Amino acid sequence: MKRILFAAMCVSLIFTGIADARTYKIGMTQWTGCSPNNAAEVKGFWKSQGIDVQVIMLANNQELYNAFINRRVDIANEMIGTWIGLYLEGIPLKILYESNWSHGGDKIIVKKDFDVKQLKGQTIGIYWNKIMD
Protein backbone atom coordinates (compact mmCIF):
# COMPACT_ATOMS: atom_id res chain seq x y z
CA MET A 1 0.00 0.00 0.00
CA LYS A 2 2.82 2.42 0.86
CA ARG A 3 4.48 1.77 -2.48
CA ILE A 4 1.26 2.46 -4.37
CA LEU A 5 0.72 5.68 -2.41
CA PHE A 6 4.32 6.76 -3.00
CA ALA A 7 4.18 5.95 -6.73
CA ALA A 8 0.94 7.86 -7.18
CA MET A 9 2.36 10.79 -5.25
CA CYS A 10 5.59 10.90 -7.26
CA VAL A 11 3.84 10.63 -10.61
CA SER A 12 1.38 13.35 -9.65
CA LEU A 13 4.15 15.65 -8.43
CA ILE A 14 6.28 15.15 -11.52
CA PHE A 15 3.47 15.58 -14.02
CA THR A 16 1.86 18.55 -12.32
CA GLY A 17 5.12 20.49 -12.42
CA ILE A 18 5.48 20.92 -8.67
CA ALA A 19 8.29 18.43 -8.13
CA ASP A 20 10.94 20.78 -6.84
CA ALA A 21 13.02 20.95 -3.67
CA ARG A 22 10.47 22.06 -1.10
CA THR A 23 8.25 20.69 1.63
CA TYR A 24 4.99 19.19 0.41
CA LYS A 25 2.11 19.44 2.83
CA ILE A 26 -0.42 16.61 2.81
CA GLY A 27 -3.64 17.51 4.60
CA MET A 28 -5.81 14.74 5.98
CA THR A 29 -8.42 13.91 8.59
CA GLN A 30 -8.33 11.01 11.04
CA TRP A 31 -9.51 8.25 8.73
CA THR A 32 -7.92 4.83 8.33
CA GLY A 33 -7.69 5.19 4.56
CA CYS A 34 -5.26 8.08 5.05
CA SER A 35 -3.02 6.21 7.50
CA PRO A 36 -0.33 5.32 4.93
CA ASN A 37 0.60 9.02 5.01
CA ASN A 38 1.31 8.79 8.74
CA ALA A 39 3.18 5.50 8.40
CA ALA A 40 5.36 6.90 5.61
CA GLU A 41 6.16 9.98 7.68
CA VAL A 42 6.94 8.11 10.92
CA LYS A 43 9.02 5.42 9.20
CA GLY A 44 10.98 8.00 7.19
CA PHE A 45 9.70 6.68 3.87
CA TRP A 46 9.33 10.12 2.30
CA LYS A 47 12.84 11.17 3.32
CA SER A 48 14.36 7.91 2.06
CA GLN A 49 12.91 8.78 -1.36
CA GLY A 50 14.30 12.32 -1.23
CA ILE A 51 10.92 13.98 -0.70
CA ASP A 52 10.28 16.39 2.15
CA VAL A 53 6.68 15.83 3.28
CA GLN A 54 4.78 17.22 6.23
CA VAL A 55 1.51 15.47 7.15
CA ILE A 56 -1.04 17.89 8.59
CA MET A 57 -3.98 16.52 10.57
CA LEU A 58 -7.19 18.53 10.31
CA ALA A 59 -10.32 18.16 12.42
CA ASN A 60 -12.89 17.61 9.66
CA ASN A 61 -13.59 17.71 5.93
CA GLN A 62 -14.45 21.41 5.96
CA GLU A 63 -11.11 22.34 7.53
CA LEU A 64 -9.33 20.09 5.03
CA TYR A 65 -11.21 21.64 2.12
CA ASN A 66 -10.45 25.19 3.36
CA ALA A 67 -6.76 24.35 3.82
CA PHE A 68 -6.61 22.97 0.28
CA ILE A 69 -8.48 25.85 -1.36
CA ASN A 70 -6.42 28.42 0.56
CA ARG A 71 -3.17 26.60 -0.37
CA ARG A 72 -2.16 25.75 3.19
CA VAL A 73 -1.80 22.15 1.98
CA ASP A 74 -0.60 20.97 -1.43
CA ILE A 75 -2.42 17.65 -1.39
CA ALA A 76 -5.63 16.77 0.42
CA ASN A 77 -6.33 13.13 1.28
CA GLU A 78 -9.85 12.19 2.35
CA MET A 79 -12.61 9.77 1.39
CA ILE A 80 -13.34 9.86 -2.34
CA GLY A 81 -17.01 10.69 -1.76
CA THR A 82 -16.04 13.97 -0.14
CA TRP A 83 -14.14 15.09 -3.23
CA ILE A 84 -16.70 13.81 -5.72
CA GLY A 85 -19.35 15.74 -3.80
CA LEU A 86 -17.29 18.94 -4.03
CA TYR A 87 -16.57 18.32 -7.71
CA LEU A 88 -20.29 17.88 -8.39
CA GLU A 89 -20.87 21.21 -6.63
CA GLY A 90 -18.58 22.82 -9.21
CA ILE A 91 -15.41 23.10 -7.12
CA PRO A 92 -12.39 22.87 -9.48
CA LEU A 93 -10.15 20.04 -8.30
CA LYS A 94 -8.23 17.05 -9.60
CA ILE A 95 -8.68 13.62 -8.07
CA LEU A 96 -5.34 11.84 -8.39
CA TYR A 97 -5.95 8.52 -6.68
CA GLU A 98 -8.13 6.51 -4.33
CA SER A 99 -6.23 5.14 -1.34
CA ASN A 100 -8.93 2.95 0.14
CA TRP A 101 -12.16 1.34 -0.94
CA SER A 102 -14.63 -0.34 1.36
CA HIS A 103 -16.06 -3.66 0.30
CA GLY A 104 -18.19 -4.18 3.37
CA GLY A 105 -15.29 -3.50 5.70
CA ASP A 106 -17.11 -0.84 7.68
CA LYS A 107 -17.87 -2.21 11.11
CA ILE A 108 -19.09 -1.24 14.54
CA ILE A 109 -16.33 -2.00 17.02
CA VAL A 110 -17.38 -2.87 20.56
CA LYS A 111 -15.78 -4.29 23.67
CA LYS A 112 -15.56 -8.06 23.96
CA ASP A 113 -18.31 -8.36 26.58
CA PHE A 114 -20.76 -6.03 24.77
CA ASP A 115 -24.12 -7.52 23.72
CA VAL A 116 -25.28 -5.96 20.44
CA LYS A 117 -28.89 -6.62 21.52
CA GLN A 118 -28.43 -3.67 23.90
CA LEU A 119 -28.65 -1.40 20.85
CA LYS A 120 -32.22 -2.41 20.00
CA GLY A 121 -34.42 0.66 20.15
CA GLN A 122 -31.45 2.94 20.82
CA THR A 123 -30.14 5.80 18.73
CA ILE A 124 -26.61 5.32 17.44
CA GLY A 125 -24.34 7.77 15.61
CA ILE A 126 -23.41 7.32 11.99
CA TYR A 127 -21.14 9.19 9.61
CA TRP A 128 -23.26 11.48 7.43
CA ASN A 129 -21.33 13.43 4.83
CA LYS A 130 -21.72 14.52 1.23
CA ILE A 131 -22.02 11.92 -1.52
CA MET A 132 -21.98 8.96 0.90
CA ASP A 133 -25.25 10.12 2.49
SS (H, E, C) the chain: CHHHHHHHHHHHHHHCCCCCCCEEEEEECCCHHHHHHHHHHHCCHHHHCCCEEEEEECCCHHHHHHHHHCCCCCEEECCHHHHHHHHHCCCCCCCCCCCCCCCCCCCCCCCCCCCHHHHCCCCCCCCCCHHHC
For the whole model, what pTM was predicted? 0.60
Q: What is the pLDDT along the chain (133 residues), one digit of tens a residue?
A: 566 665 556 556 555 555 457 899 999 988 877 888 999 999 999 999 999 999 999 998 889 989 988 999 999 988 777 778 778 888 778 888 777 666 666 666 778 898 888 889 988 776 555 444 3
Decide if domain 2-122+126-132 falls under CATH 3.40.50.
no
